[in-house]
Amino acid sequence: MNSWKNWANLSKCEPKKIQFPKSLSDLKQIITETKITKETLKVVGHGNSYNTNFHTEGTLVSLKDFNTIQETNIETQQVSIDAGVSINKLVQHCSNNGLALSSLGTNMFDNVAGACSTGHHGSGINYGILSSYIDSFDLLLASGQTLTIKKGDWLYDALGVHLGAVGIITKLTLNTEKRFKLKQEVFPISLQAFQDCMSDLLSANDHVKLIWAPHTNDYQCWIANRTEESIDHNFMHWKNHMIDGLLINNLVHASLLYTTAIKPAWIRSINQWLSNYFLKGKTQCIGWSDQIFYLPHLLKQDAIEYAIPLDKTVAFLQDLHNLIEAQSFHVQFPIEVRFVKQDNFWLSPAYQKDMCYIGTKAHLLPFLTPNYKPYFQAVSQLIETYQGRFHWGKQNYSSKTYLENSYPKWKEFWTLRDYLDPNKMFMNNWLTELAYKPSKTDIEMFKKQHFDHDLQLVK
Ligand SMILES: Cc1cc2nc3c(=O)[nH]c(=O)nc-3n(C[C@H](O)[C@H](O)[C@H](O)COP(=O)(O)OP(=O)(O)OC[C@H]3O[C@@H](n4cnc5c(N)ncnc54)[C@H](O)[C@@H]3O)c2cc1C
């Protein structure tokens, strides 16, 4: 194997070599060798990011053979894992031990470490991004030293979301909770009705999402709450997964999209049909939390997702509707609106603000790739007028300067990064295009502020 494609088949990394370490000492050996050759190194998780942030021209490291669940403490509800463990494996392990992660996105196939590095999130205004559930993590640096970073340390905030740009996460300890069931309810809602009850909806329900079929005024509200009621018969889950998720949402939708090769404007009718099938009815279903969080993804797609301040949600959706119609874009995928609690991670899109995440995608079908990039670009421009911050695992159209102005700790993050990895082992082209280049003064000021802390570990 000498290349690695991302999940969406959008990008191919062709490094000099790919390494599959089985142990911490194998990993340390790889770092030592890379130091000598002065080449670059990047870890790939599951390769699910839509952008090229896991790419390198040097050594690509996959942790797929470094994936042991190290320790489970039922009393403290903490689970320690090697960094190659996938969310799916962790979720299964937790279920077997009567535990569960408090909030998850819709994709179980990321690696926990990869997902944390890019600020992976689910939905629910009282629930933070995945990194918020880390109790501690070990970061192997370019120097060969390991930092153990614990919740409460300033480095936890600085590096809890780090884009794989600072070191290799080798171990994570996560806080979980007792395994729980969720009662999922979906019902149609107008944007006006959503606006009227948004704050009550968000505070009264554990998990809330809004799904909008573009070119229609149809929205669906999805809520999920912890319950002690009995779980539904497996048939309900099978129907949700196989019939609604895989067959209708993926395969039938894909077949209909082929007709748009003749006339792109037919997307309107397809969206209306999908909306009538999916968004108009009221349904409910009770299942274990992971069954409810998960959504099957069969069709390849490209995606952008931005976090905007919560109070701008409805105004933004109205503007997005106007933008799509005014510029005659054909948007063939439902737009997903999620809500995430604020945190203190320097590079988290939810840094110190409760956020609404707006995700929009484009299906990429064999022999039918729509011209969606002008749409992504226009949405990104609109988002910037709302001070949006893009999801680190998705596509980005924001400039360096914009990012510098959006993240109060931007300069400090890159100064710390350069301090911990002066020879830029963990940098790649994607990161270099975004990164702030610290000046000597930045470095001096940063040292004054932080040098007495854990950084003295790093010579
Ligand atoms: C179908 C699909 C559904 C998705 N759904 C959601 C969702 O619901 N919510 C959401 O927030 N996101 C979602 N995403 C985005 C996805 O969660 C992120 O892109 C995530 O980073 C992917 O994890 P990965 O393990 O594949 O990481 P990769 O894409 O392989 O890597 C991401 C970054 O992490 C770094 N990295 C990986 N492992 C380590 C390590 N051990 N140490 C240091 N750095 C490391 C890599 O170098 C890279 O910079 C989805 C993506 C897809 C394709």
Determine the atom of ligand 1 nearest the C-alpha atom of 106.
Answer: 8
Query: How close is the Cα of 198 to the center of ligand 1, in Å?
Result: 30
Two tokens, residue 337: 């609106």
User: Which residues lie closer than 8 Å to 99 by C-beta, 6 or more apart?
Assistant: 72, 74, 77, 79, 176, 177, 178, 179
pLDDT at residue 176 is higher than 70: yes
Query: How close is the Cα of 260 to the center of ligand 1, in Å?
Result: 31
What percent of the chain clears pLDDT 90, i.e. is strictly above it? 77
Same domain, 196 and 327: yes
Helix (H) or strand (E) holding 252: none
Residue 23 domain boundaries: 4-62
Q: What is the pLDDT of residue 458?
A: 46
84 lies in some domain: no
Q: Give the DSSP letter string of 72-86.
A: EETTTTEEEEETT-B
Domain count along the chain: 2
- 59 vs 371, more confident: 59
Phi, psi angles (nearest 5°) of residue 47: 70, 35
Query: Which of 251-255, 383-387, 420-424 is the least confident region?
Result: 251-255
Which of 392, 154, 189 is closest to 282 using CA atoms?
Answer: 189
Q: What is the pLDDT of residue 459?
A: 38
CATH number at residue 19: 3.30.43
Same domain, 54 and 190: no
Give 245's pLDDT tier (boundaries 50, 70, 90): low
360 lies in some domain: yes
Phi, psi angles (nearest 5°) of residue 283: -135, 160
* Protein residue whose Cα sits closest to atom 4 of ligand 1: 107
Cβ–ligand 1 distance for 43 under 6 Å, the answer yes
276 lies in some domain: yes
Give 121's pLDDT tier (boundaries 50, 70, 90): very high
Phi, psi angles (nearest 5°) of residue 333: -140, 140
Ligand 1 pocket test, candidate residues 27, 111, 250, most atoms within 8 A of CB: 111
35 lies in some domain: yes
| 34, amino acid identity | T
Which of 121, 48, 69 is closest to 293 using CA atoms?
Answer: 121
231 lies in some domain: yes
Query: How close is the Cα of 163 to the center of ligand 1, in Å?
Result: 9
pLDDT at residue 333 is higher than 90: no
Give 237's pLDDT tier (boundaries 50, 70, 90): low
Edge-to-edge order in the sheet of strand 168-175:
69-73, 78-82, 168-175, 134-140, 146-150
Domain boundary among 398, 430, 447: 398
Query: How close is the Cα of 114 to the center of ligand 1, in Å?
Result: 5
pTM above 0.85, yes or no: yes
Q: What is the pLDDT of residue 184?
A: 94
Cβ–ligand 1 distance for 425 under 6 Å, the answer no
Query: How close is the Cα of 58 to the center of ligand 1, in Å?
Result: 20
Helices 313-326 and 373-384, interaxial angle, to 10°?
140
368 lies in some domain: yes
12-56, pLDDT tens digit by residue?
A: 999 999 999 999 999 999 999 999 999 999 999 999 999 999 999
